[in-house]
């Protein structure tokens, strides 16, 4: 196989050229780059071992000049730029799997100078398996060889695209679903390490995963299924228990359509602000944040009769408004009223999961959370154009159970047995925002509880897996609360120096001033000490209640 891949690489558009003379000093844990060379490595295709069960189709290389790298705005991200990027070599490896008719692209970005000996793999979002933009370039700037993959899924500016999941004859494209769920992330790790070793003439010292949302789920998949791939995994706001989450977040749309009532977005926001006002001080300080939404007992019926100003029009909150909000907060239930999944946190922005759309003629509707809509349309109904607004309460429960039965073994990512990851010496850090408006944090908290029950309690689990609750923080960052400043740095210190993070330093800017807070690993939470500036981390402490 090694000979075959060398021949394929030689036939690539850029000819295989031997690496320039390079000698690398062995890096110690956490040391800065100490590469000693007379010339930068030549940017050309390298021989690549095909991961088991795959074949290499091509290897291509392109030198990137570095400097200031800009990224245009997309429908889901603003324009941005990264300065001070070293010149780097971008090697693209395309693999296929016999019988799958797939073409999986893996891109490895290798800095010509300043490489620290580390590899950083980049996760995706929604239905995109990777990110070829700013995160990959940031990894290069920070001295990593960066790697990401498209899983063979057609890419576009829209990470919500799922047409690839269904074949023309209305069946699930099992190879692509398998790629997206688990296979391509593992192959990304193998190829990233192999290409890096060939490029620099030495193996990596440490490997890290960095992802949020879908990228968070991918990180947990690696810990569960391929525990030796990464020394450290940073997996924030993870979409664990995907088969339940991806249906459960359609619940608000079902509620509105089945109850035939569509509260305006400003009324929904009025409920949110009322819940914050009612529960803000429960943690001992009034700072506009509900630290533990699951402990907030605010009843939306108390807002009935209140007048809300919506785009210049005064609207009176009705009992029907309150009932919709109650169900959205409570979360989906089955036909017997039993909870299926946590609801939207009180204090979180309801617009994504429960937002109302008003047509030009004034007709309101509930479009539904796009990730959930796409999952039901493509993966469950196998009809990308299926109208999810027609789903009844009973059908919702049936779809929920179908999702778990049909896909749990493929993409569920909910196995609480992390024994192999612990034995491998791996470390896992996660933060979840209490105001996560896309993936209710209750799913991750429940998964952590299952791991503790399976693996000997919180103290033993914290030896290798630490989960931090970020009060007031939204999905992957943003919101009213302080956001972790450098969780990847904390992970590196833990892996390379054995320094388990007692806290994660977090900050944000609110009202023109910087607000700081040290986040605590569960079962501890950050609580106001009763004195001092509520905007200063020194005024908080870690406590078990």
Residues forming the active site: 213, 436, 475
Question: Residue 460 is encoded by which pair of tokens?
Answer: 């033993």
Report the alpha-carbon distance of residue 379 to residue 170 in Å, rounded. Answer: 10
Specify whether the CB–CB gap between 117 and 204 falls below 8 A. Answer: yes
Report the alpha-carbon distance of residue 20 to residue 260 in Å, rounded. Answer: 69
Three-class SS state of 175: helix
Give the pairing type, strands 104-111 and 144-149. antiparallel
Chain CA centroid to CA 55, Å = 29
**Quick one: which of 504, 524, 529, 525 has its CA closest to 516?**
504
* DSSP output for 23-45: EEPPPPTTPPP-EEESSPPP-S-
Question: Residue 324 is encoded by which pair of tokens?
Answer: 């919709």
Neighbours of 223 (CB within 10 A): 25
Residue with tokens 């971008």: 90
Q: Element (H or E) spanning 382, and its range?
A: none
Q: Is the bond preceding residue 523 a cis peptide, omega within 30 degrees?
A: yes
| Helix 184-200 and helix 214-225, axial crossing angle in degrees, nearest 10 | 80
**Quick one: which of 84, 11, 83 has its CA closest to 47?**
11
Three-class SS state of 206: strand
Residue with tokens 């305006």: 264
Residue with tokens 């010509």: 112
Which residue(s) pair with 510 in the sheet? 513
Specify whether the CB–CB gap between 185 and 152 falls below 8 A. Answer: no
Listed in order, strand segments (DSSP E) in 86-167 are 88-96, 104-111, 118-122, 144-149
Give the pairing type, strands 67-71 and 80-85. antiparallel
Instruction: Please give the torsion angle defined by the CA atoms of residues 327, 331, 334 and 335, in that order, rounded to the nearest 10 degrees.
Output: 0
Three-class SS state of 117: coil
Neighbours of 424 (CB within 10 A): 17
């Amino acid at each position: 196989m090694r000979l075959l891949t060398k021949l394929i690489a030689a036939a690539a558009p850029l000819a295989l050229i031997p690496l320039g003379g390079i000698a690398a000093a062995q890096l110690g844990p956490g040391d800065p780059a100490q590469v000693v060379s007379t010339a930068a490595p030549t940017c050309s295709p390298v021989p690549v071992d095909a991961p088991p069960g795959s074949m290499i189709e091509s290897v291509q290389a392109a030198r990137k000049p570095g400097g200031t790298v800009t990224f245009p705005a997309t429908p889901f991200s603003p324009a941005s730029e990264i300065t001070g990027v070293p010149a780097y070599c971008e090697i693209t490896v395309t693999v296929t799997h016999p019988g799958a008719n797939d073409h999986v692209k893996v891109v490895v970005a290798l800095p010509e100078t300043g490489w620290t000996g580390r590899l950083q793999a980049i996760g995706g979002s929604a239905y995109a398996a990777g990110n070829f933009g700013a995160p990959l370039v940031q990894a290069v700037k920070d001295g990593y060889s960066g790697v990401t993959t498209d899983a063979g899924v057609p890419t576009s500016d829209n990470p919500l695209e799922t047409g690839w999941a269904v074949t023309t004859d209305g069946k699930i494209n099992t190879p692509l679903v398998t790629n997206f769920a688990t296979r391509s992330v593992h192959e990304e790790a193998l190829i990233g390490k192999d290409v890096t070793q060939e490029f620099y003439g030495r193996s990596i010292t440490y490997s890290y995963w960095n992802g949020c949302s879908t990228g968070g789920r991918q990180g947990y998949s690696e810990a569960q299924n391929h525990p030796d791939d990464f020394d450290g995994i940073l997996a924030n706001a993870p979409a664990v228990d995907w088969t339940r989450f991806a249906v459960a977040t359609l619940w608000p749309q079902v509620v509105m359509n089945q109850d035939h009532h569509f509260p305006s977005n400003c009324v929904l926001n009025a409920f949110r602000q009322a819940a914050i006002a009612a529960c803000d001080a429960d943690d001992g300080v009034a700072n506009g944040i509900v630290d533990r939404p699951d402990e907030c007992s605010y009843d939306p019926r108390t807002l009935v009769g209140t007048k809300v100003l919506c785009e210049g029009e005064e609207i009176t909150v009705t009992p029907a408004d309150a009932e919709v909000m109650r169900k959205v907060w409570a979360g989906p239930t089955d036909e017997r009223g039993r909870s299926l999944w946590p609801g939207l946190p009180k204090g979180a922005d309801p617009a994504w999961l429960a937002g109302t759309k008003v047509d030009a003629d004034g007709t309101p509707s509930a479009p539904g959370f796009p990730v959930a809509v796409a999952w039901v349309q493509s993966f469950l109904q196998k009809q990308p154009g299926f109208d999810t607004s027609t789903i009844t309460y009973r059908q919702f429960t049936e779809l929920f159970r179908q999702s778990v039965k049909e896909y749990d073994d493929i993409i569920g990512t909910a196995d609480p047995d992390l024994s192999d990851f612990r034995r491998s010496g791996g470390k896992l850090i996660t933060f979840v925002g209490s105001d996560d408006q896309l993936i209710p944090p209750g799913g991750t908290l429940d998964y952590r509880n299952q791991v503790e029950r399976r693996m000997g309690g919180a103290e033993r689990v914290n030896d290798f897996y630490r989960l931090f609750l970020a009060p007031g923080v939204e999905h992957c960052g943003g919101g009213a609360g302080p956001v972790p400043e450098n969780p990847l740095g904390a992970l590196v210190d833990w892996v390379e120096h054995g320094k388990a993070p007692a806290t994660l330093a977090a900050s944000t800017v609110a009202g023109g001033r910087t607000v700081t807070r040290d986040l605590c690993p569960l079962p501890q939470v950050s609580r106001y000490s009763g004195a001092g500036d509520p905007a200063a981390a020194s005024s908080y402490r870690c406590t078990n209640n």
